[in-house]
Amino acid sequence: MKAQENNKIIAEFMGYRITDDQFKDENGFWNDTGVFETSWDWLMPVIIKMADAREDTHYKLYKTIDEAYEEVVEFINEYNKNK
């Protein structure tokens, strides 16, 4: 259940419209919220937006998608607290 909640906050951070366990991306396609934890194609735009919010000039290298996913979730939770 925790992964589902984390994926929803990622989708919200990315500005996607969320209904139940799906979200609508910028192209108008409905997707399962589980794509962030399993796909670099979906997670990389989040990492880029995260780096932009931090005003980073370099992107961190991650050893695994799990490591990147955990850092994204941690960042978004802190970002949302400070808004």
pTM here is 0.82
Whether the Cβ atoms of residue 37 and residue 7 lie closer than 8 Å to each other: yes
Rounded to the nearest integer, the mean pLDDT of the chain is 85
Query: pLDDT tens-digit profile of 60-74?
Result: 889 999 999 999 999
The one-letter amino acid at 39? S
Give 24's contacts (C-beta < 8 A, 6+ positions apart): 16, 17, 30, 31
Query: pLDDT tens-digit profile of 35-48?
Result: 888 889 889 999 99
